Structure 1
Amino acid sequence: MRGLMGKGNSVFWKATFVAVVALLLAAVAAASPSAPSKKPKGPTTAQLRAKLPANIRKSNTIRIATSIYAPVDYYKADGKTLTGFDADIMRAVAKKLRVKIRWAVIDFSAIIPGITSGQYDFATDLNDTKQREQVVDFITEFRDGSSILVKKGNPDQLRNLGDLCGKMVVMTQGSVQIPIANAQSDKCQQAGKSKIDQLLVPDDPPARLALKSGRATAYLVNTLAGSYAAKTENGGQDFQILAGVYQPQFAGIIFPKKSARLREAIRATLNAVIRDGTYRKIMVRYGVVNNAIKKSATNAATS
């Protein structure tokens, strides 16, 4: 009997020991830091390329139109090499898609006609508005707005839009600043003041020249471009930008209305560039990280 009891006790204690060890191992495993979970990867180059229209996959080339608005797009000192945060973002997009870019640097006023006529696959650096969305499709790329640029020292002591009554204001043809000036001009006349005189030019460089030469008292301009001009033109000695941003809005890339497939392929690739951190590095490098977006959207205008 004692032998049988001893054998039973031995079996019992062995089973108990195994159970305790198993519990201890489970507790250690639970307490141990788990391996960091990997973020799900974005789409592959092959998946992104598959979204492109067949003709672009065949040619391996995208035709992009833009205009000169530093720091968005501008030429390096050699006068030939296009640089700027938009140019770098588009190169990152092209690299992911394994395509080449054929740039066309044209007057701002010619961009929308060039897109609607099919001369270019898409164009960059336009503020997104409901009115423009009736003609072309947008995907968002960054944030911008409108501001007032004046000569260094602000000789006319301008403070805001209300001080532009009776002044000559230069703007680029077809820009979102024209409706802002028109609305303010109406307010000027309602208050018994003179309307705003407008000098319209094809692009940013002649607008800055008009301000510098005295043909215009102020330049109603995209905030990014105006801030950059104030900081860099002649070592920061030519212009200054007034406080205030009017009608903040998204800016981005435009496509013909019939190019939904290309539009969504570029949007997906831009979002991949945002996701992998390349986009943010570019925006930091150009000092415009506050104008960055978290995700590109289609036709996101609010006004």
Structure 2
Amino acid sequence: MTASPTRRSVARTSRTVAVGAIAVASALLLTSCGDQTDGAGDDGKKAGGSQAPLHDQLPKEIQDKGVIKVGSDIAYPPVEFKEGGKTVGIDPDLAEAMGEKLGVTLQFNNGTFDTLLTGLRSGRYDIAMSAMTDTKERQEGIDPESGKKVGEGVDFVDYFTAGVSIYTKKGKTQGIETWDDLCGKKIVVQRGTVSEDLAKDQSKKCEKDGEEKIAMESFDQDTEAQTRLRAGGAAAGSSDFPVAAYTVKTSGGGKDFELVGEQVDAAPYGIAVAKKNTELRDAIKAALEAVKEDGTYDKILKKWGVSEGAIDKIAINGGS
């Protein structure tokens, strides 16, 4: 992680969401209301122990403890969030399935997003799984703004792909369809995400083109940014597409917000592992491959309405 980590790299690769957003958001509403497993949250159960098929691939220390400590910002529905006191969502469901293959509990520990990789490096967590984008900067420990090396970097096991979306109050788009339309307007974002980086980059572009800069307000959690926008404190908000679609469909019963324009910056989510923990990294990769091979991976993504984010092959450090 850099001093200002992002969920996305800053390359602009867009894809259309007009139809997909409606379909995905509708599916999210249906699935978020029922048919949920407990995942591998704070009360996840150890499954199989030494009899699990991949247990012996884990480092001995983790085999003995029976727990993989997961650092996660558990306020990012539908990727990970609290419901009825339990940690649920895409990541916890995948983690539970992986735990069954590995014979250990993947125990989620809540933290703010921009501190997760610091916690990973300090040993507070064994892995970080939190809608985190695999980027070269993170792999190499480079600050994306300064270009300077600020840490040893991490390895990623990639498992999903998504882009970034803009949303506004419903019926009050103010002509916003692209990032260029935000010049002279205010946006709210979560601190340390690609949405924040994109807003900074776009603001510089606006100024260079002779237009007013973008005003930006950043928050520790995405839900805080939503609250600010809902109260009329900004023209738009931005977050990862699965999160934006879920927010648009569920907030105020679908009456608060609407998606505008297209997704940008499609890139892989990765599970972060310290560079030195290659044995754990490879065990995580093997578990994800097994979950994908037996069909559980596709079932989980379908359950949360995000099948379009599936990747064909589990990869290590596939981000750019």
Q: Give the structure-1-normalised TM-score.
A: 0.81
Q: Tell me which residue corresponds to 2:107.
A: 102
In the aligned structure 2, how far is the partner of 1:48 from the partner of 1:86?
20
Task: Give 1:262's match in structure 2, choosing from 276, 280, 285.
Answer: 280
In the aligned structure 2, how far is the partner of 1:195 from the partner of 1:294?
40
In structure 2, give the amino acid aligned to 1:143.
T
Query: What is the percentage of aligned positions where both structures have the same residue?
Result: 35
CA offset at residue 197 of structure 1?
Answer: 1.5
What are structure 1's unaligned runs of at least 5 residues?
A: 1-43
1:129 aligns with 2:135: yes
In the aligned structure 2, how far is the partner of 1:220 from the partner of 1:166?
16
In structure 1, give the amino acid aligned to 2:111.
I
In the aligned structure 1, how far is the partner of 2:158 from the partner of 2:314?
5
In the aligned structure 2, how far is the partner of 1:214 from the partner of 1:133?
38
In the aligned structure 2, how far is the partner of 1:180 from the partner of 1:264?
32
In structure 1, give the amino acid aligned to 2:162.
D
Q: How is 1:230-269 mapped onto 2 (pairs within 5 angstroms)? A: 230-269=248-287
Q: How is 1:6-25 mapped onto 2 (pairs within 5 angstroms)? A: none
Q: Tell me which residue corresponds to 2:76.
A: 69
In the aligned structure 2, how far is the partner of 1:155 from the partner of 1:246?
18
Point out the structure with max Rg over C-alpha.
1
Q: Deviations over 1:209-260 (max 9, x none)?
A: 1211222221121111111101111211111111211111011211122211
CA offset at residue 153 of structure 1?
Answer: 1.3
Greater RCO (Cα-Cα under 8 Å, separation 6 or more): 2
Say whether the 8 Å CA contact 1:56–1:62 is kept in structure 2.
Answer: yes
Q: How is 1:1-303 mapped onto 2 (pairs within 5 angstroms)? A: 48-67=54-73, 68-76=75-83, 78=84, 80-124=85-129, 125-134=131-140, 135-302=153-320
Give the number of the structure whose residues are more often helix, by fraction. 1
| Secondary structure at the counterpart of residue 186 of structure 1 | helix
| Secondary structure at the counterpart of residue 318 of structure 2 | coil
CA offset at residue 155 of structure 1?
Answer: 4.2
| Secondary structure at the counterpart of residue 233 of structure 1 | helix
Q: Give the structure-2-normalised TM-score.
A: 0.77
Deviates more, 1:287-296 or 1:108-117: 108-117
What are structure 2's unaligned runs of at least 5 residues?
A: 1-49, 141-152
RMSD (Å) for aligned C-alpha atoms: 1.5
In the aligned structure 2, how far is the partner of 1:47 from the partner of 1:118?
26
Say whether the 8 Å CA contact 1:85–1:286 is kept in structure 2.
Answer: yes
CA offset at residue 45 of structure 1?
Answer: 6.1
